[in-house]
């Protein structure tokens, strides 16, 4: 794949683009958007007495729109901070395959049901660059994630919801590989797992530097995780098609 991207980048440059090296920066502002699909979204609330059912089977896999905003600040060559706003929610209508007991209410199979799913994520990350050469820049650090989650079912006059706000610590890994002066391959990972649950967010992107200040990027992101306890069981897996743009200053 690296060979293919190298050839693609070389072709673009030969077509008339002038190579530019991304300038050093103190601040970077980026926006990411695109479609997202849910491969899995299983719910059981309460986690010990509720009915386990699939939101994917109920409302489909999508796609749903999403957007993220990121602000990064670099203290010096080795230390940096990142702040991420990642809101996500959808409201869709579908039909339950089975009778469901959810958050204290009962919902009937075969009837039109409105589903609201929300999983907003707000993160602050510290990164330390532990390796650097002409091609690679590798960083490791930690993320403090605040999740704001809600699931709501509505069927006729019956409605029930479960919401949760919590703080989750994650490990962070970030790497850049310079293919050319203008093309860079990026690995961006937040994640941690425990017996009670897990959160894994992996992005694989190719960035093109339009100028010293502006860049465009695209690629793939996957987000998987959830919780399993007496209060809630919810594990979801999402697939993202990523388009992003950013400005360095």
5 pLDDT more than 60:
no
Averaged pLDDT for residues 115-122: 98
Q: Mind listing the domains of the chain with CATH numbers?
A: 25-248 (2.40.128.90)
Give 227: exposed, middle or buried? Use CB within 10 Å, 0-12, 13-18, 19+.
buried
Distance CA 19, CA 9 (A): 10
Instruction: Give the helix/strand (H/E) hosting 219.
Output: strand 214-228
Instruction: Give the helix/strand (H/E) hosting 68.
Output: strand 64-74
Per the structure block, which two tokens stand in for 242?
């990523």
For 16-27, the pLDDT digits (tens) are 333 334 446 799
For 45-79, the pLDDT digits (tens) are 999 999 999 999 999 999 999 999 999 999 999 99
Distances (CA, A) of 204 to 13, 23, 155, 177, 220: 22, 22, 39, 11, 5
Q: Give the pTM.
A: 0.87
In sequence order, the 6+-apart residues with CB closer than 8 A to the CB of 150 are 89, 116, 117, 118, 161, 162, 163, 164
């Amino acid at each position: 794949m690296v060979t293919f991207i190298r050839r693609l980048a070389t072709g673009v440059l030969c077509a008339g683009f002038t190579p530019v090296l991304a300038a050093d920066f103190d601040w970077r502002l980026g926006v990411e958007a695109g479609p997202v699909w849910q491969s899995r979204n299983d719910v059981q609330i309460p986690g010990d007495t509720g009915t386990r059912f699939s939101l994917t089977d109920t409302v489909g896999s999508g796609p749903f729109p999403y957007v993220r905003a990121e602000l990064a600040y670099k203290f010096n060559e080795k230390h940096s901070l990142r702040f991420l706003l990642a809101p996500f929610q959808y409201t869709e209508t579908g039909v339950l395959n089975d009778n469901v007991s959810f958050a204290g209410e009962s919902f009937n199979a075969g009837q039109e049901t409105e589903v609201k799913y929300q999983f907003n994520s707000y993160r602050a990350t510290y990164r330390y660059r532990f390796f650097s050469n002409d091609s690679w820049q590798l960083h490791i650090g930690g993320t403090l994630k605040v999740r704001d989650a809600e699931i709501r079912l509505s069927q006729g006059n019956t409605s029930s919801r479960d919401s949760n706000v919590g703080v989750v610590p994650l490990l962070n890994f970030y790497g850049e590989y310079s293919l050319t002066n203008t093309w860079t391959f990026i690995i961006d990972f937040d994640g941690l797992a425990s017996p009670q649950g897990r959160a894994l967010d992996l992005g694989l992107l190719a960035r093109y530097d339009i100028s010293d200040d502006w860049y465009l990027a695209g690629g793939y992101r996957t987000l998987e995780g959830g919780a399993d306890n007496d209060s809630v069981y919810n594990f979801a897996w999402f697939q993202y098609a990523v388009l992003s743009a950013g400005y360095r200053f």
